[in-house]
């Protein structure tokens, strides 16, 4: 779960936090008093009041031309804005803080930007900003901000499933705060550690912390915090297979989070579905998973456990023989899986390289400084260097092997195209038409035939025109738009393509485009000189990434290597 271990958004805004004051109007409050009231309203989910206080704070700072407080005002103002507006405030913070002396900036700016990206599920950019902040904090010896960066990076380790590493960080700062964290921050760290313990199977430790959190004075003041602990109590029951108790607690959490449109409602829905699966009530589980899917489609916010949700929904409707629902959730699964896969691959690569490895090297340096035996130092150094060397060699040869395979594929493609072109110019014999239904499709027993025969013939003629006139190169073609042009419906068109082309619509469209570009690149030297984005646009793709993915899937190599091999041979 991601947002239950949400980056410490309030940490950074509370560095200059002060005691509350009893004043009559906002305009008469000091900066400290305004900030106190802001965070009090923020924790009670009073969006209107937080925006009002933030604007008052910013206006006061601008009127007094106080750059430090203007920067604080931008931070307050960004909390309850949409992503675009919040990012503008952070950009303004970066500009105004350039003239502020001391160790606070620019570290704080990068941390705030990282938190914003994390909040809106842009995990790659969140990591990059946290790493930059970490380096600035380290260079300026700012212990607080160094701690905040480490804690927020721990949330990313949690996302990757590195619960042991994340728990180590959370546990350290929970019990060794050294005046770094206040009550709110302390509570957030405790919540994060609870989740790690549950996932690691340390349920006794998790339950102790849950009871500690439920009885804390901070929790009693915050409905949000109460609901968080209800969720974790239910999640713990779920892991213990006490499904009825889990449902009771999870419903409390869901009722609150859904009432304020908070993303944590999705995690409650996931756990409720899992609880009903445990009770063998799949129909009830599906109801909660459908609600979860609806939320995901609206917000595009994902978390790894969604794979389980869509797998369950697909299998459920497969058993019901509801093919439309199967396809519906397969499409949603592929969309979510692609996003999760991209995030996971990036974080799995960059976290060790940018965070774990530097930390490991720092630990190594400390160990070496403490060692008195030079022989041990030598052995440790040689071992580390040997491992690094082996790793580098492995990656090098793997990259060379992959490149060689890609070049070989490209060469074979070029030879096949040139051979086909040569045969087409020398052999005047008419080439027999391919059968309407591919042989591999004919042999399958599960062909769906609901389209009237005369409609099928009409669609196939239209598809022949579509291919011969190369209409597939137009940008923005969809199943719906093509069906409309052919004066049929999407179901008929989809079924005809599946049965007679042996593939779905997306694969059919991509294969036509890639087959076209393979041959044109060989024949047209000018076309080869185009940049990849221009080639992608020429054949109907909105961006070069979509083109590259389709090309690799169709051919097994990349556009760049293919073009390079053509140039080499000609």
Residue 523: give its domain's CATH number: 1.10.10.60
Residue-level pLDDT at 24: 43
CA dist 491 and 132 (Å) reads 51
Residue 47: give its domain's CATH number: 1.25.40
Q: Which residue has the tokens 């035996």?
A: 373
Residue pair 116/78 in contact (Cβ under 8 Å)? The answer is yes
CA dist 533 and 221 (Å) reads 55
Could you read off the pLDDT of 105-152 as tens digits, one per residue? 888 899 889 888 888 878 788 888 888 888 888 888 888 888 888 888
Given a cut of 70, whether residue 299 has pLDDT beyond it is yes
Stretch among 4-18, 94-108, 472-486, 517-531 having the lowest mean pLDDT = 4-18
pTM: 0.52
Residue-level pLDDT at 252: 94
In whole angstroms, how far apart are CA 421 and each of 415, 471, 511, 557?
A: 10, 22, 19, 21
Give me 255's structure tokens.
């009722």
In whole angstroms, how far apart are CA 123 and each of 142, 152, 289?
A: 25, 11, 24
Given a cut of 70, whether residue 520 has pLDDT beyond it is yes
For residue 11, is it within any domain? yes
Residue-level pLDDT at 435: 36
Could you read off the pLDDT of 65-93 as tens digits, one per residue? 888 888 888 888 888 888 898 899 899 88
CA dist 511 and 500 (Å) reads 15
Stretch among 251-260, 358-367, 369-378 having the lowest mean pLDDT = 358-367
Name the band, by pLDDT with cuts 50, 70 and 90, for residue 464: very high
Residues 6+ apart with CB under 8 A from 303: 1, 2, 159, 266, 267, 270
In whole angstroms, how far apart are CA 185 and each of 151, 156, 358, 492?
A: 10, 17, 26, 57
Residue-level pLDDT at 430: 41
Calculate the average pLDDT of the chain: 81
Residue-level pLDDT at 370: 57
Phi-psi region of 433 (alpha: psi -120 to 50; beta: other; left: phi over 0): beta
For residue 224, is it within any domain? no
Stretch among 14-18, 284-288, 498-502 having the lowest mean pLDDT = 14-18
For residue 40, is it within any domain? yes
Nearest to 38 by CA among 65, 10, 62: 10
Mean pLDDT of 268-291: 94
Domain limits at 491?
Answer: 441-569
Name the band, by pLDDT with cuts 50, 70 and 90, for residue 19: very low
Question: Peptide bond preceding 21: is omega within 30 degrees of 0, i.e. cis?
Answer: no
Name the band, by pLDDT with cuts 50, 70 and 90, for residue 205: very high
Residue pair 474/542 in contact (Cβ under 8 Å)? The answer is no
Given a cut of 50, whether residue 496 has pLDDT beyond it is yes
In the chain, the number of structural domains is 2
**352: DSSP letter:** I
For residue 71, is it within any domain? yes
For residue 252, is it within any domain? no
Residue-level pLDDT at 442: 41
Mean pLDDT of 526-542: 92
Domain boundary among 163, 197, 215: 163
Domain boundary among 121, 143, 163: 163
CA dist 83 and 556 (Å) reads 38
Give me 175's structure tokens.
């019990």
Could you read off the pLDDT of 390-412 as tens digits, one per residue? 887 787 777 777 778 888 887 88
Residue-level pLDDT at 186: 81
Residue-level pLDDT at 444: 43
Given a cut of 70, whether residue 161 has pLDDT beyond it is yes
Nearest to 18 by CA among 39, 32, 37: 32
For residue 60, is it within any domain? yes
CA dist 519 and 517 (Å) reads 5
Domain boundary among 142, 163, 184: 163
Q: How many beta carbons lie within 10 A of that of residue 320, not counting itself?
A: 11
Could you read off the pLDDT of 413-456 as tens digits, one per residue? 888 887 777 666 555 444 333 333 344 444 444 456 788 999 99
CA dist 56 and 77 (Å) reads 10
In this prediction, what percent of the chain has a pLDDT beyond 90?
32
**99: DSSP letter:** G
For residue 237, is it within any domain? no
Nearest to 240 by CA among 212, 210, 265, 264: 210
Residue pair 286/316 in contact (Cβ under 8 Å)? The answer is yes
Given a cut of 70, whether residue 6 has pLDDT beyond it is no
Mean pLDDT of 295-308: 85
**DSSP string of 111-162?**
HHHHHHHHHTT-HHHHHHHHHHHHHHHHHTT-HHHHHHHHHHHHHHHHHTT-
Name the band, by pLDDT with cuts 50, 70 and 90, for residue 374: low
Residues 6+ apart with CB under 8 A from 297: 332
Residue pair 174/196 in contact (Cβ under 8 Å)? The answer is no
Mean pLDDT of 251-259: 92
For residue 226, is it within any domain? no
């Amino acid at each position: 779960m991601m947002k239950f271990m949400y980056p410490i958004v309030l940490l950074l805004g509370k560095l200059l936090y002060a005691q509350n004051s009893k004043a009559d109007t906002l305009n008469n409050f000091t900066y400290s008093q305004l900030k106190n009231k802001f965070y009090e309203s923020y924790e009670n989910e009073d969006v209107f009041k937080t925006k009002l206080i933030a604007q008052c704070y910013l206006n006061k700072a601008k009127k007094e031309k106080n750059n430090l407080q203007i920067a604080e005002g931008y931070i307050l103002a960004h909390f309850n804005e949409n992503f675009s507006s919040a990012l503008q405030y952070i950009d303004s913070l970066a500009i105004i803080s350039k003239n502020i002396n001391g160790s606070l900036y620019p570290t704080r700016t990068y941390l705030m930007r990282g938190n914003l990206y994390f909040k809106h599920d842009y995990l790659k950019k969140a990591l990059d900003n946290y790493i930059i902040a970490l380096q600035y904090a380290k260079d300026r010896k700012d212990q607080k901000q160094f701690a905040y960066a480490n804690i927020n990076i721990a949330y990313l380790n949690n996302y990757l499933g590195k619960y042991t590493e994340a728990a180590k960080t959370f546990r350290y700062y929970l019990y060794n705060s050294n005046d770094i964290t206040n009550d709110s921050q302390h509570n957030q760290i405790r919540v994060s550690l609870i989740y790690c313990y549950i996932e690691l199977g340390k349920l006794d430790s998790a339950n102790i912390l849950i009871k500690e959190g439920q009885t804390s004075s901070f929790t009693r003041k915050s409905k949000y915090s109460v609901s968080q602990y209800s969720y974790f109590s239910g999640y713990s029951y779920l892991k213990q297979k006490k499904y009825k108790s889990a449902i009771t607690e999870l419903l409390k959490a869901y009722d609150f989070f859904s009432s304020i449109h908070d993303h944590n409602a999705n995690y409650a829905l996931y756990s409720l579905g899992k609880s009903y699966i445990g009770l063998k009530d799949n129909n009830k589980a599906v109801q909660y998973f459908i609600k979860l899917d609806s939320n995901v489609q609206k917000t595009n916010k994902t978390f790894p456990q969604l794979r389980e949700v869509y797998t369950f929904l697909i299998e459920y409707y497969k058993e019901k023989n509801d093919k439309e629902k199967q396809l519906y959730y397969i499409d949603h699964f592929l969309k979510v899986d692609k996003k999760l896969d991209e995030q996971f691959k990036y974080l799995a690569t960059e976290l060790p390289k940018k965070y774990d490895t530097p930390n490991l090297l720092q630990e190594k340096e400390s160990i070496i400084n403490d060692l008195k035996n030079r022989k041990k130092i030598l052995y440790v150094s040689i071992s580390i260097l040997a491992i690094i060397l082996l790793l580098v060699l492995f990656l090098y040869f793997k990259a060379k092997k992959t490149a060689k395979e890609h070049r070989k594929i490209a060469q074979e493609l070029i030879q096949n195209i040139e051979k086909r072109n040569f045969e087409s110019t020398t052999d005047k014999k008419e080439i027999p038409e391919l059968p309407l239904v591919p042989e591999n499709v004919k042999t399958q027993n599960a062909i769906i035939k609901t389209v009237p025969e005369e409609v099928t013939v009409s669609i196939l003629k239209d598809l022949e025109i579509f291919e011969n006139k190369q209409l597939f190169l137009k940008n923005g073609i969809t199943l719906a738009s093509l069906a409309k042009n052919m004066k049929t419906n999407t179901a008929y068109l989809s079924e005809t393509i599946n049965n007679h082309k042996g593939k779905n619509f997306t694969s059919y469209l991509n294969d036509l485009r890639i087959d076209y570009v393979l041959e044109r690149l060989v024949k047209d030297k000018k076309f080869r000189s185009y940049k990849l984005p221009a080639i992608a646009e020429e054949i109907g793709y909105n961006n070069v990434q979509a083109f590259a993915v389709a090309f690799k899937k169709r051919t097994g190599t990349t556009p760049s290597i293919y073009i390079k091999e053509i140039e080499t041979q000609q």
